[in-house]
C-alpha cells in the first residue's frame, strides 16, 4: 500500500466535509467551508494524485474548477453514475445540481486560481427546512435522494428537476446518511434517533427499521454515512455499539438481521463506503467474489475491510488531526481518498495482491442476475414515469415554432414514410372499428354472448375537440393537448345488436403466443400520430410506425430487375492458376484525352491490332485531323488518359506512358503480372493483376504508392471483381459483385469496407438522405453507392430478416448502424460534403428514436476535449470525431458550425430538450470565444 497526502488539495486550510471521485476517474470533487461562512466546491485533476511525474509537471493543471455558489457550508456531494451531473447540499438548505460547460480560462471573483473547466448550476432544489447532510443518486440516475436535519428524506425526479417524488417521513431525529440499493429496490437512511430505516422504492413505504444495535450509542456525530455493498447483500452502518465499543454494523439483506460488525476503532465511526467494484483473488479457476469497504472514524483513523476476511486489510491510525468526514473509491483503480475536518485529504493506493482484481461488467451483471433475477435488473427505474410532455425551455419552444414555419410537413403519399396518419373514410364509406366520427356522437356496439352476458366492443373516444392551431403551438402536429379540463364532452351512442357472438379467447397460452404478429389487431388511431410528441403513447406510436415499415418491406411487390451490371471478372481459379481473368487484346480500342484549355483541345486515341502490315499502331486525332502515330511492340489491351498523359497497356505486360504529342515519357514499365483491370485518375494509375494483386503509381513523380497488395480475400465465396477506381488522392477502390466496395488504407495497410449494398439498414430507404440522381465527381461515396446499387440483388437478405424479426427497436438500430457506417465511409474517402450529409441523417435517426447517449457522444466529440490537459485525464476522444473535424477544416469549415446546423434536429423529441439546451449553451460559448 502507498499513502499520499497531497498538500495542494486544500480549501485554504478550511474544513472539508465531503469528497467524491468522478466515475471516469479523471477528477475528484471536494466540498466544505469557504470564505465568509459560505460553501466551496473544488474540482481536482486526478493525474497528479496517481502519477508523480504529472505532479511535478507544471503544465498539468491541479485544480480544474471552483464553485462558490452555496451560501452555507457544503456538507455533501456526489457524482451521478453517468458523470454528467454533480449534486451538492449544504447548510443553506439547498441542493444544487451542476453540469459541465465549455467555459473556462477565467478566475472566480476574488480568486487568483484560473478555472481550467467550466461548471454551472443547472438546477437548485428547494424542499428542505434545514441543513442538507447527505445525498445519493439511484443506480440509473433516475432519482436523487437527500436527507436533512429536518428529519426528512426527499426523493427528487432527475428527469424533471424540482419535482419531489416522495417525502419519506418516520425518523424522529436528524437524518445524516442515505444510500441506494444497487439493484434499485430499496433505499436506506440513518438518523440521530438511533435507527436505520429501509424504504421500498416500489411504493416508498418503510420495509424495516433496525434499532437494537444503536440503543447503546451515546452522543452523536456530524455525519452518519451508511453504505450498501455492490452486490446488494449488506448494509454497513455508522456509529453502532457492541459491548460498549464502537462498531460498524453489518445488516443482511432480506431478513435485515445484524449478526456481524466491523470492530477496532476507538471512537464512533462517522462514515462507511463500499467500493463499487466486485473483487476476486488474482489467478485462474473458480474464485469467490467479495467486496471492499472503508471506514472513517472520529479517532482520526481509516480502516479497510474485505468481506472475505475476518480481520481488516489495513488500519491507519492518526491519519488526520480531526474526524474523518467522507470516503471515496476510484471506480477503475485500487485507490481510496479520504477527507477530514482538518481540511486535508489522503490517498491510499493498493496492489492487486492486496486488494484483488475487479470483476468485469459482464461477470458482475451475471452475479446480480443469479442473486436477484433478470427481471429486477431490466427495470429502467423504480416508479417509472412518462416521458416529458412539457417544453421546459422558452428557447426550445421558439426553435420548434420557427422550424415548423420554415419547413411545413408535406403530405406523404400512401405507402411511403415511416409513419402514416390514419386514413379518413370517404363519403358513404363505413368507418373502421375504433375510428371516431368526424363530429357529433361516437358509436359503440353492444351484443350478447351465448351465455347471455352483455358484450360491448370498446371504441376510441376522444377526450375533446382540438383545433389545429392550439396543437401546433406545442409540437406542430395534430396531437391532443395535455389537459381535458376544457372543451365539449364527447357523447357516446350505443348500438345494440341481436346477434350472438363468441368471444375469441385462446384455449392455452401456447396458442396465444403462436399467433403471427401480422394478424394482431391494429392499434387505435391515437397510436398513429406525429413523432414529435414525447410521452408513453408516443413510444408506442413509434413502435407501430417501425413495425409498419418492416411489414412494408416484407409485403411489398418484388422490384423490377436491376439493369445488367458491367461485365464482371470471374473470381474462381482457372487452370493456369489465375484468380481474375486477364484482359484480352481487342481488334480496336479507343480513348479520349480531355481538353485542357483553348490551346490544348480534346484528342481521340485509337489502337489497331494487326493492320495491313501486321503492326500494332496507336493513332491520335483531333476530330478528323491527324496529329501523330506510334507503333507498339505488342497488341494493346487497355487505353486510358489522365493528366495530359496517354497510357497504353500491351499484351506483353508493359505500361507505356506518352505525352499529348506522342513522346515517350518513361521507359515501358513491366507489370507485376497479367493485367485484369486498370484505372487512371489525375496523376495516379491503378492495375489489378490476374493474381488479384493491386498496385498503384504516381506517374508524375514516377513513384509507386501501393505495391502488389493482395485482394484475393475480398473475392471469396464466388464473388467477382466488377469494377475498380481511384479516389482523388490516388487510393484504390474495388467493387465486388456482392454489393460491397473496399478502399485501401495505406496507414492501416488493409482494405476498408466503405459501401455495403446488403447492409440491414440499407433496406430501409426512409433513413437515407436525398442523394443526387447523377453524383458529381467530388461525391466519392455517392458514386460508389450508385455502382453498388446496380449490383444489389432484387431481394436483399436484410429485408426479410428485418421483417421477420418484427422488432421495431431492431429496425431502428439497423438503420442507425447503416448511417453510422456511411459517416465513417465519408471520412475515409475524404468527402466533407457527404460527411455533413450523412451525419445529419444519423442525427435525425437518433433523434427520432430519442437515443440520448449516442447523440451526446456525437455532440461532445464534435466539440472536442474540455481542456488542454484532458489527454492526461483520459478524456473521451474518438478517432472518427477528430477525423471529421480535420476534414471540415480542410475545406475551411469549423466543426462547431456543423454542430450548430445539426442541433435543431434535436427539438423533434422532447426527451432531448435538456441535451439541446446544454449543447446550445456550450456552442454559444465557443462562438463567443471565436469572435473575440
The DSSP secondary structure of 724-776, one letter per residue, reads: EEE-TT--EEEEETTTEEEEEETTTTEEEEEEETT-GGGG-GGGS----SS--
Most distant CA atoms of the chain, gap in Å: 119
**What is the rounded CA–CA span in Å between residue 774 and residue 767?**
20
Using DSSP, state whether 278 is helix, strand or coil: coil
What pLDDT score does 456 carry?
66
Structure confidence at residue 775 as a pLDDT band (50, 70, 90): low
Is the per-residue pLDDT at 831 higher than 90?
A: no
- Per-residue confidence band for 392, with pLDDT thresholds at 50, 70 and 90: low
What H or E segment, with its residue span, contains residue 657? strand 654-658
Domain boundaries, the chain: 2-364, 588-738, 762-793+801-866+875-931
Residue burial 152-174, b: 16+ Cβ < 10 Å; e: rest: bbbbbbbbebeeebbebebbeeb
Confidence bin at 301 (pLDDT 50/70/90): very high
Q: Which residue is associated with the grid cell 372543451?
A: 487
Average pLDDT over residues 346-365: 89
pTM for this prediction: 0.56
Q: Cα(211)–Cα(173) distance, rounded to whole angstroms?
A: 13
Q: Which residues on neighbouring strands pair with residue 638, listed in sequence order?
A: 649
Q: Residue 516 phi/psi, 5° resolution? A: -70, 150
Q: How confident is the model at residue 109 (pLDDT cuts 50, 70, 90)?
A: low
CA-closest candidate to residue 868, choices 38, 16, 4, 60: 60
Q: Which three cell numbers stand for residue 504?
A: 375469441
pLDDT band at 140 (very low <50, low <70, confident <90, very high): confident
In this prediction, residue 160 has a pLDDT band, given cuts at 50, 70 and 90, of: confident
Residue 648, phi then psi, degrees to nearest 5: -135, 130
User: For residue 236, what is the enclosing H or E element?
Assistant: strand 234-236
Cell of residue 809, nine digits: 427497436
Greater confidence (550 vs 645) lies with 645
Of residues 320 and 543, the one with the higher pLDDT is 320
291 pLDDT band, cuts 50/70/90, is very high
- Give me the pLDDT at residue 902, please: 79
Lowest mean pLDDT among 156-165, 204-213, 407-416: 407-416
d(CA 761, CA 814): 5
Q: How many angstroms separate the CA atoms of 866 and 104, rounded?
A: 9
Query: Which residues lie below 8 Å from residue 851, measured CB to CB, with a gap of 6+?
Result: 816
Mean pLDDT of 507-531: 36
How far the first Cα of the chain sits from its last, in Å, is 50
Cell 509537471 locates to: 57
| Fold match flag (2-364 vs 588-738) | yes
Q: What pLDDT, in 10s, does the model give residues 876-911?
A: 333 333 455 565 555 556 666 777 777 887 777 777
* Mean pLDDT, all residues of the chain: 75
The residue among 393 and 520 whose pLDDT is bigger is 393
d(CA 333, CA 348): 11
**Can you give the pLDDT at residue 343?**
93
Q: Does domain 588-738 have CATH number 2.130.10.10?
A: yes
Q: Which residues are within 8 A (CB) of 124 and not within 5 positions of it... i.e. 6 or more apart? A: 94, 95, 96, 97
Per the model's pLDDT, the better-predicted residue between 848 and 441 turns out to be 848
Task: Determine the Cα–Cα distance for residues 916 and 398; give it in Å rounded to an integer.
Answer: 13
- For residue 500, pLDDT over 70 is answered with no
pLDDT band at 521 (very low <50, low <70, confident <90, very high): very low
Strand, helix or coil at 328? strand
Residue 205 pLDDT > 50: yes
pLDDT of residue 390: 56
Q: Is the pLDDT of residue 628 over 70?
A: yes
Task: Check pLDDT > 80 for residue 646.
Answer: yes
Instruction: List, in order, residues 6 or more apart from 406 with CB less than 8 Å away.
Output: none
Over residues 83-106, the pLDDT tens digits come to 999 999 999 999 999 998 866 545
Q: Which residue has the higher pLDDT, 426 or 348?
A: 348
Cell numbers describing residue 497: 345488436
pLDDT band at 534 (very low <50, low <70, confident <90, very high): very low
CATH number of 2-364: 2.130.10.10
Amino acid at each position: 500500500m502507498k499513502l499520499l497526502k497531497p498538500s495542494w488539495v486544500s480549501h485554504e486550510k478550511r474544513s472539508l466535509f465531503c469528497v467524491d471521485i468522478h466515475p471516469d476517474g479523471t477528477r475528484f470533487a471536494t466540498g466544505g467551508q469557504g470564505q465568509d461562512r459560505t460553501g466551496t466546491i473544488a474540482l481536482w485533476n486526478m493525474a497528479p494524485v496517481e502519477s508523480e511525474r504529472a505532479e511535478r509537471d507544471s503544465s498539468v493543471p491541479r485544480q480544474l474548477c471552483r464553485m462558490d455558489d452555496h451560501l452555507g457550508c457544503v456538507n455533501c456531494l456526489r457524482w451521478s453514475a453517468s458523470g454528467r451531473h454533480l449534486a451538492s447540499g449544504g447548510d443553506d438548505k439547498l441542493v444544487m445540481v451542476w453540469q459541465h460547460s465549455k467555459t473556462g480560462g477565467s478566475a472566480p471573483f476574488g480568486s487568483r486560481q484560473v478555472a481550467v473547466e467550466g461548471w454551472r448550476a443547472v438546477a437548485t432544489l428547494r424542499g428542505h427546512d434545514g441543513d442538507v447532510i447527505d445525498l445519493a443518486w439511484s443506480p440509473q440516475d433516475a432519482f436523487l435522494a437527500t436527507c436533512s436535519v429536518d428529519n426528512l428524506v426527499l426523493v427528487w425526479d432527475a428527469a424533471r428537476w424540482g419535482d419531489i417524488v416522495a417525502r419519506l417521513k418516520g425518523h424522529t431525529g436528524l437524518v445524516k446518511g442515505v444510500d441506494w440499493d444497487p439493484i434499485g429496490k430499496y433505499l436506506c437512511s440513518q438518523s440521530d434517533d438511533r435507527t436505520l430505516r429501509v424504504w421500498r422504492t416500489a411504493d416508498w413505504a418503510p420495509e424495516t427499521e433496525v434499532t437494537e444495535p444503536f440503543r447503546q450509542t451515546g452522543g452523536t456525530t456530524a455525519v452518519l454515512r451508511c453504505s450498501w455493498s455492490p452486490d446488494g447483500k449488506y448494509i454497513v452502518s455508522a456509529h453502532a455499539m457492541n459491548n460498549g465499543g464502537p462498531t460498524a454494523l453489518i445488516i443482511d439483506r432480506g431478513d435485515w438481521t445484524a449478526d456481524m460488525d466491523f470492530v477496532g476503532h476507538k471512537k464512533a465511526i462517522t462514515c462507511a463506503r463500499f467500493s463499487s467494484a466486485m473483487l476476486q483473488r488474482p489467478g485462474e479457476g473458480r474464485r469467490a467474489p467479495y467486496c471492499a469497504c472503508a471506514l472513517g472514524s472520529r479517532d482520526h483513523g481509516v480502516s479497510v475491510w474485505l468481506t472475505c476476511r475476518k480481520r481488516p486489510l489495513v488500519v491507519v491510525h492518526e491519519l488526520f488531526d480531526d474526524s474523518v468526514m467522507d470516503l471515496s473509491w476510484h471506480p477503475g483503480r485500487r485507490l481510496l481518498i479520504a477527507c477530514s475536518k482538518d481540511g486535508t485529504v489522503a490517498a491510499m493506493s493498493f496492489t492487486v495482491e492486496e486488494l484483488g482484481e475487479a470483476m468485469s461488467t459482464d461477470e458482475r451483471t451475471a452475479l446480480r442476475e443469479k442473486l436477484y433475477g433478470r427481471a429486477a435488473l431490466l427495470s429502467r427505474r423504480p416508479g417509472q414515469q412518462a416521458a416529458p410532455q412539457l417544453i421546459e425551455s422558452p428557447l426550445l419552444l421558439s426553435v420548434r415554432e420557427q422550424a415548423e414555419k420554415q419547413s411545413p410537413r408535406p403530405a406523404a403519399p400512401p405507402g411511403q414514410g415511416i409513419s402514416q396518419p390514419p386514413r379518413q373514410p370517404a363519403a358513404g364509406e363505413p368507418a373502421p372499428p375504433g375510428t371516431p366520427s368526424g363530429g357529433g356522437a361516437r358509436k359503440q356496439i353492444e351484443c350478447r354472448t351465448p351465455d347471455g352476458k352483455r358484450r360491448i366492443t370498446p371504441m376510441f373516444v376522444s377526450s375533446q375537440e382540438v383545433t389545429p392551431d392550439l396543437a401546433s403551438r406545442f409540437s406542430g402536429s395534430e396531437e391532443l393537448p395535455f389537459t381535458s379540463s376544457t372543451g365539449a364532452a364527447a357523447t357516446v351512442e350505443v348500438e345494440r345488436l341481436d346477434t350472438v357472438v363468441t368471444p375469441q379467447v385462446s384455449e392455452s397460452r401456447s396458442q396465444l403466443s403462436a399467433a403471427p404478429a401480422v394478424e394482431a389487431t391494429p392499434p387505435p388511431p391515437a397510436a398513429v400520430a406525429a413523432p414529435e410528441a414525447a410521452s408513453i403513447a408516443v413510444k408506442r406510436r413509434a413502435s407501430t410506425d417501425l413495425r409498419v415499415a418492416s411489414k412494408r418491406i416484407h409485403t411489398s411487390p418484388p422490384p423490377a430487375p436491376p439493369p445488367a451490371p458491367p461485365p464482371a471478372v470471374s473470381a474462381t481459379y482457372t487452370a493456369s492458376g489465375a484468380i481474375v481473368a486477364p484482359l484480352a487484346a481487342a481488334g480496336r480500342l479507343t480513348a479520349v484525352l480531355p481538353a485542357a484549355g483553348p490551346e490544348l483541345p480534346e484528342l481521340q486515341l485509337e489502337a489497331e491490332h494487326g493492320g495491313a502490315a501486321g503492326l500494332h499502331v496507336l493513332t491520335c486525332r483531333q476530330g478528323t485531323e491527324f496529329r501523330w502515330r506510334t507503333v507498339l511492340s505488342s497488341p494493346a489491351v487497355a487505353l486510358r488518359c489522365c493528366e495530359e498523359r496517354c497510357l497504353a497497356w500491351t499484351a506483353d505486360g508493359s505500361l507505356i506512358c506518352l505525352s499529348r504529342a506522342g513522346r515517350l515519357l518513361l521507359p515501358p514499365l513491366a507489370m507485376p503480372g497479367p493485367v485484369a483491370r486498370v484505372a487512371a485518375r489525375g496523376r495516379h494509375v491503378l492495375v489489378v493483376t490476374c493474381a488479384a494483386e493491386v498496385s498503384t503509381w504516381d506517374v508524375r513523380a514516377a513513384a509507386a504508392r501501393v505495391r502488389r497488395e493482395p485482394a484475393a480475400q475480398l473475392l471469396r465465396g464466388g464473388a467477382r471483381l466488377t469494377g475498380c477506381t481511384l479516389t482523388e488522392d490516388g487510393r484504390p477502390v474495388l467493387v465486388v459483385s456482392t454489393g460491397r466496395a473496399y478502399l485501401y488504407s495505406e496507414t492501416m495497410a488493409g482494405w476498408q469496407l466503405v459501401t455495403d449494398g446488403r447492409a440491414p439498414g440499407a433496406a430501409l430507404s426512409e433513413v437515407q438522405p436525398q442523394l443526387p440522381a447523377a453524383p458529381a465527381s467530388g461525391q466519392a461515396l455517392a458514386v460508389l453507392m450508385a455502382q453498388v446499387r446496380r449490383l444489389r440483388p432484387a431481394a436483399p437478405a436484410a429485408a426479410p430478416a428485418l421483417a421477420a424479426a418484427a422488432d421495431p427497436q431492431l429496425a431502428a438500430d439497423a438503420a442507425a448502424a447503416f448511417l453510422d457506417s456511411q459517416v465513417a465511409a465519408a471520412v475515409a474517402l475524404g468527402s466533407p460534403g457527404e460527411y455533413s450529409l450523412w451525419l445529419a441523417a444519423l442525427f435525425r435517426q437518433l433523434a427520432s428514436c430519442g437515443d440520448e447517449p449516442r447523440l451526446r457522444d456525437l455532440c461532445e466529440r464534435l466539440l472536442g476535449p474540455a481542456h488542454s490537459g484532458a489527454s492526461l485525464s483520459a478524456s473521451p476522444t474518438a478517432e472518427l470525431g477528430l477525423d471529421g473535424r480535420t476534414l471540415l477544416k480542410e475545406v475551411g469549415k469549423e466543426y462547431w458550425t456543423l454542430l450548430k446546423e445539426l442541433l435543431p434536429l434535436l427539438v423533434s423529441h422532447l426527451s432531448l430538450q435538456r441535451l439541446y439546451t446544454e449543447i446550445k449553451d456550450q456552442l454559444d460559448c465557443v462562438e463567443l470565444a471565436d469572435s473575440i
